[in-house]
Amino acid sequence: MKADALRGNLDALILAVVRDRPLHGYGVSEALHERSDGAVDLPTGTLYPALRRLERLGYLRSSWDTVGGRKRRTYEITRGGKAYLVAQQQAWSEMSSVMNAILGPG
């Protein structure tokens, strides 16, 4: 699935995988890939700007960790991020119901 197809939903997808546990950027990418059965494979040029944007908005917070001698930024969802995610889940549910009603078998 191309990043363009995810436009408008990428923030919710990222927040959903970080909701489960704090992850570094590569971990976010891997979680999206796994949970989508390989359909979501984001380039770093899409993922990392989105992570920084979500942090600026206050939906994620980050901290630096050292793993195997390498520094990695780990992202964790905030209370505001959880509230935003719930709102996005509700909006998605409504949108998918409408789309299924229109596009579904007639």
Asked whether residue 13 is domain-assigned, the answer is: yes
Overall domain count for the chain: 1
Task: Give residue 96's region: left, alpha or beta (phi > 0; psi -120 to 50).
Answer: alpha
Q: What is the pTM of this model?
A: 0.86
Asked whether residue 40 is domain-assigned, the answer is: yes
Asked whether residue 104 is domain-assigned, the answer is: no
Asked whether residue 61 is domain-assigned, the answer is: yes
For residue 33, what are the domain limits? Answer: 3-98
Whole-number Å distance between alpha carbons of 3 and 32 = 12
Asked whether residue 94 is domain-assigned, the answer is: yes
- What φ, ψ does residue 36 adopt, rounded to 5°? -100, 10
CATH of the domain at 40: 1.10.10.10
b (16+ CB within 10 A) / e for 29-59: bebbeeeeeeebebeeeebeebbeebbeeeb
Structure confidence by residue, pLDDT tens digits, 22-76 = 999 999 999 999 999 999 988 888 999 999 999 999 999 999 988 889 899 999 9
Please say if the pLDDT value at position 92 is more than 70: yes
Pairwise pLDDT comparison (36 vs 1), residue with the higher score = 36
Asked whether residue 106 is domain-assigned, the answer is: no
